[in-house]
């Protein structure tokens, strides 16, 4: 089973959905059978989710160094996924996010830089943005 955080594009309601696997989610989304429990809209997509830290029960608690290494590994994985699946727009992030939101540019995932004020303005306009700690590729 896999759990996804879902978000209604109609009313912005977020909720979770459980699926047998990612293919089951894709099949149901393509068929338009995933619906918002608040407004019944089928215009629903995956929301950004926090990574799940899986710890084996028999391994005992992680010490601070192990936890820091695991968090770093997850942040590097997030970076890799963002870079593999989204377009880098650099300092034009806020402008491009607005164009996408208002239908002036193709709907797609983007990443880049925005000031805290720009991010707050985007949120005030109803545009979802997330700040991700962007770690360097290596310490070397």
- pLDDT tens digits, 60-84: 676 888 888 888 888 888 888 999 8
Q: Where would I find the beta strands (DSSP E) of 30-86?
A: 44-46
Q: DSSP 3-state assignment of 118?
A: helix
Q: Distance between CA 93 and CA 134 in Å, rounded?
A: 15
Q: How far apart are CA 114 and CA 128, in angstroms?
A: 13
Count of other CB atoms within 10 angstroms of residue 89: 20
Confidence tier at 115 by pLDDT (50, 70, 90): very high
Q: How far apart are CA 74 and CA 110, in angstroms?
A: 20
C-alpha dihedral over 99, 34, 16, 79, to 10 degrees?
-40
What percentage of residues in the chain have a pLDDT greater than 90? 33
Measure the CA–CA gap between 26 and 35, rounded to whole angstroms. Answer: 14
Instruction: Identify the residue whose tokens are 């608690």.
Output: 61
Residue predicted with more confidence, 56 or 84: 84
Lowest mean pLDDT segment, chosen from 28-32, 85-89, 135-139: 135-139
Residue 139 has pLDDT above 60, yes or no: no
Q: In whole angstroms, give the CA distance from residue 98 to residue 60.
A: 46
């Amino acid at each position: 089973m896999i759990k996804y955080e879902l978000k209604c594009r109609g009313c912005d309601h977020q909720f979770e959905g459980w699926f047998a696997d990612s293919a089951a989610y894709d099949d149901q989304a393509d068929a338009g059978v995933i619906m918002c429990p608040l407004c019944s809209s089928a215009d629903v997509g995956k929301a950004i989710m926090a990574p799940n830290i899986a710890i084996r029960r028999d391994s005992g608690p992680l010490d601070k160094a192990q936890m820091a290494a695991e968090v770093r590994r997850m942040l590097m994985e997030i970076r890799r996924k963002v870079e593999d699946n989204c377009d880098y727009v650099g300092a034009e992030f806020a402008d491009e996010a607005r164009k996408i939101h208002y239908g002036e540019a193709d709907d797609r995932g983007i990443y880049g830089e925005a000031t805290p004020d720009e991010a707050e303005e985007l949120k005030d306009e109803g545009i979802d943005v997330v700040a991700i700690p962007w770690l360097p590729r290596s310490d070397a």
